[in-house]
Each structure stands twice: as C-alpha cells, then as structure tokens.
Amino acid sequence: MFMTQLEMARQGQISDLVREAAAAENIDPEILRQKIAAGTAVICRNNKHLNARPLAVGEGLRTKTNANIGTSGDDTSIDKELEKAKVAAAAGADALMDLSTGGPIDDIRAAIIAETDLCIGSVPLYQAACDAVLRQGKPIVDMTVDDIFDGVKKHLDDGVDFITVHCGVIRDTVARMEREGRLLEVVSRGGSFTVEWMLHNNAENPLFEFYDRLLELVRPYDAVLSLGDGFRPGCLADATDRAQVQELIILGELTQRAQEAGIQVMIEGPGHVPLDQIEANIKLQKRLCHGAPFYVLGPLVTDIAPGYDHITAAIGGTVAGAAGADFLCYVTPSEHLRLPTVEDVHEGVMAVRIAAHAADIVKKIPGAIEKDNAMARFRKNLDWEGQFSVAIDPAKARRIRKESGVDESHGACTMCGALCAYKVMNERKREKAAS
C-alpha cells in the first residue's frame, strides 16, 4: 500500500529519501523523521522527479534558498532560462521555481526539470491562465474549475516537487482587505487571478472550495503543497494588515487538513515588511500554522531601492531566517524593473545565500560558524587560496584580488599593503617566539 513521506514518518519508518536528505544535512535520519512526522519539516521530491535530490526544509535544518526563473510574454527564450537555471545551480541555490508565462511553457518547464538535479517548484495557476488565454482564446476569468485542476495535474505529472497554490485567497478576505484599504491591494499574480475569477464568477476560490479534491490529486505524487500568500504585502504600508493575517489563519487550518490526509505542507509569506515587524510575522506564522516550514520572499525592508532589491531582501531575509524562517526566495537587482538577466540571477543567489548563512549562524546550525572560523584563520595567515576555498563566491573573490594589481611580495592586499595588521601581528609573534 502506497504511503507518503509524512505517513511513513508517522509510522516510524525512515525512507530512503529521508536517509539521503539527512546525510546532506549531516543529521541523524531519526531526527529528520521526527521533524517530518511533526509537520515541522518536509521532504521536497515528487515521485516522478527521478533525477532530483530530495530537499529537506524545516525546523533545525540549514536555511534553504530558492531562485525564481521563467519566461514572460515579452521574453520567451528557452535558452536564456536554461542558462539561468545552470547559473543558479552553480551559484549554490537549493531550488528553482519556474514561473514561466510566455512561449512554450510546457517545453520550458520540462527542460528546466531535466537540466539540474535541484528541487523544482511552480505555480500551476499560471499554466491554467496561459492555456485559457493563449490556447483557448478566453479571458482568465472564464477558466473553469477543471481548467485550474488540469493545470495542477500537468505540473505534478511533469515532476514538480512543490506547487504554490493560493488556497487561502477567499471572498471573505477580499472583503476584509477592501474595507481596511490597501495601497497596493493584491501584488501576487496568482492571488490577483483568483480574486478576479471569484468576483467575475460570484463564486468561491475553487482551490479552497474543493480543497479535498486538491489533496487527492497531490497525494500519489507525494509533492509538497506550498500554500501561497495571495495577500502578501507589496509595500511596507500594507504589511501585517488584516488581509495578510486572515489568510494566514486560513492557511493554518488548511495545513492541518492536508497533514491529516498525509500531505506535506509549507507556508509562503511576505513580501515587503518593515524591519521591526519581521520577527513578529515569523512567530505568528509558526504559531498559527503549527510549526510548518515557512518560505519567504525577501522580505524587502524598504520600497525605494529598485536596482538594489537583492540587498534589501538579503537584509530582511537574514532577520527572517534568524527568527525561524526555513526557506528564503531570492530577489534580484531586477525586481520591480524587468525579467532578470543571467548576471542578475547570480547576484540574487549570492545575496540570498549570504542571508541564509548569517541566519544559520544565529540558529547554531552545525557547520555554519565553522566556515567563518576557517576564514578567520586563513586571513590571519594571509593564506589567500585558503580564503578563496571557503568564500561564498570564490571566483569573484579571486578576480577582485587579481584585478587590484597587488604586490604579492608582502602577501597582503592593497588596502593596507605592507602595513597590514595581520602581517604586523604575525611578525610580532614570530619575534616574541624567537626571543
């Protein structure tokens, strides 16, 4: 009889995927099994994604990072997105989300899944919307319930490991949002599609109304449900308002229903959040959603830095991760401006990895601070190859040093040259030892 990873964990069984993921985390498989059984960790790996490494996400584990890629109606190049996938993987991203909405999106998704062994996520509602508009020639609001569920099935059949579904976007929350007032209303694409569909059809969100159908559909694939934040704040002024919190309450209830059906769940979160509200947002999610893993976009801590939003997101991501967020989605310098370039993808992955590592130091994840201690020892000894070996971006560090025109005879860098503090202190110790 088929059992999901959650069901096996609750039966006390340690699956091969759990063993493999635990080895990657350098923890006892039994500890990981217990976390999965409790719903505080998940194993992302669709049964049909045979070339994928299982990715463990959750409490007490290394903070994971995701890179969003995918086409738009203005740029439909498969080759560009495949190059971004390669660059993101080489830069150290743990997962990729294909958010394609332009061109041959089925072919693009299949190519991205085949390109790496990374965990893959997607938003199936985009598929349904694109099929409605581009293939059937009808407005998004005329999608049928079957169209929406067919989109989900298509992505699961292709091997997507976690799917974002905006099940918490319901009519009552829309009314609450409108009564309270928001500057940017709904900035989530999936959320906006769902709101417009509900208003046009005078009907409830099908992914909420027919949630049991969704659970039955997902179960054979053992994919992770990533319950999307359709009401995530798109600016600081909208953060932690009643629409966002009401959706989170609903997602907590849906988390319990999914877990009771043997389906693994993680929760998606904001968005744009002032620095002093981030920790409260994380703690609220963990409380309302019973400790389910939390996946956040950023969060961005200011709205005025287009071109530098990878930095604003890294600031927020560090605070979020340190407070307990488990999965950080990158933001590139192109956020709010354009589809990211290959170079933007690399910069975005590096920024989010820095945030994740800084958070892991606070979380006392085994092996995190040891890397920093190794860097300190290499710096003390002016061991440049050692420094490059533990640097988060060795190629960039090596290039910058080479471009400086440094005089290698004194072993230091061009910041201090022969007056390098390490050099002075090392010479002092040698003199003291010789006396």
Boundary-marking domain end, from 340, 363, 386: 363
Q: Is 413 annotated as a binding residue?
A: yes
d(CA 434, CA 202): 86
Does 97 belong to an annotated binding site? yes
Q: For residues 38 and 165, state if they share a domain.
A: yes
Count other C-beta atoms under 10 Å from residue 341's C-beta. 16
Helices (H), 261-341: 278-288, 309-323
**CB-CB contact of 378 with 386 (8 Å):** yes
Do residues 65 and 113 both lie within one domain?
Answer: yes
Q: What is d(CA 110, CA 139) in angstroms, rounded to the nearest whole number?
A: 26
Same domain, 79 and 101: yes
As a whole number of angstroms, the distance between CA 120 and CA 53 comes to 10
Question: Do 249 and 383 belong to one domain?
Answer: no
Q: Which of 75, 176, 185, 196 is nearest to 129 (CA)?
A: 196
Helix (H, G, I), strand (E, B) or coil at 260: helix
Q: Is the pLDDT higher at 405 or at 36?
A: 36
pLDDT value at position 407? 75
Do 115 and 70 share a domain, yes or no?
yes
CB atoms within 10 A of CB 431: 9
CB 230 within 8 A of CB 190: yes
93 CB-near residues (< 8 Å, 6+ apart) = 65, 66, 67, 118, 330, 349, 352, 353
Q: Any idea which residue has 């039966």 for tokens?
A: 11
pLDDT tens digits, one per residue of 295-342: 999 999 999 999 999 999 999 999 999 999 999 999 999 999 999 999
pLDDT band at 4 (very low <50, low <70, confident <90, very high): very high
Q: Using the 8-state DSSP alphabet, how is residue 184 labeled? A: S
Report the pLDDT value the prediction gives residue 152, as an integer from 0 to 100: 97
Residue 230 annotated in ligand binding: yes
Work out the pLDDT band at 412, boundaries 50, 70, 90.
confident
CATH code (residue 180):
3.20.20.540
| Residue after which a domain boundary falls, among 363, 390, 413 | 363
Instruction: Quote the CA–CA distance of 104 and 328 in Å, as a whole number.
Output: 28
130 is in an annotated binding site: no
CB neighbourhood size of 28 (10 A): 11
**Domain check: are 359 and 383 in the same one?**
no
Q: Is 73 annotated as a binding residue?
A: no
Domain count, the chain: 2
The answer to the question of whether 196 is labelled as a binding residue is: no
Tens-place pLDDT, residues 194-235: 999 999 999 999 999 999 999 999 999 999 999 999 999 999
Residue 119 is labelled as binding a ligand:
no
* Mean per-residue pLDDT of the chain: 95
- Boundary residue ending a domain (344, 363, 382): 363
Q: Is the pLDDT of residue 432 over 90?
A: no
For 421, other C-beta atoms within 10 Å of its C-beta total 11
Residue 32 has pLDDT above 90, yes or no: yes
Q: Is 319 in the same domain as 397?
A: no
68 is in an annotated binding site: yes
Cis before 348 (ω within 30):
no
| Judgement on whether residues 428 and 330 belong to the same structural domain of the protein | no
DSSP class of residue 223 equals P
pLDDT over threshold 80, residue 283: yes
* pLDDT for the residue 301: 98
Residue 44 in this model has a pLDDT that exceeds 90? yes
Give the span between the Cα atoms of 396 and 57, in whole angstroms: 29
Same domain, 398 and 333: no
Same domain, 63 and 93: yes
Cis peptide before 271 (omega within 30 of 0): yes
Distance of CA 258 to the CA centre of its chain: 21
> Do 279 and 136 share a domain, yes or no?
yes
44 labeled binding residue: no
* CB-count burial class (<10 Å; 0-12, 13-18, 19+) for 32: buried
Domain span at residue 323? Answer: 5-363
Judge whether 422 is annotated as a binding position.
no
Could you tell me which of 321, 398, 401, 376 has the C-alpha nearest to residue 353?
Answer: 321
pTM of the predicted protein model: 0.96
The answer to whether 310 is a known ligand-binding residue is no
- Sequence-separated (6 or more) residues with CB below 8 Å from residue 386: 374, 377, 378
**According to the annotation, is 188 in a ligand binding site?**
yes
* Bridge partner residues of 44 (DSSP): 55
Report whether pLDDT(134) > 80: no
User: Residue 147 to residues 46, 94, 139, 273, 421: CA-CA distances in angstroms?
Assistant: 22, 31, 12, 34, 66
- The single-letter DSSP state of residue 97 is E
In percent, the amount of the chain with pLDDT more than 70 equals 100
What's residue 133's pLDDT?
Answer: 86
Question: Are both 384 and 357 inside the same structural domain?
Answer: no
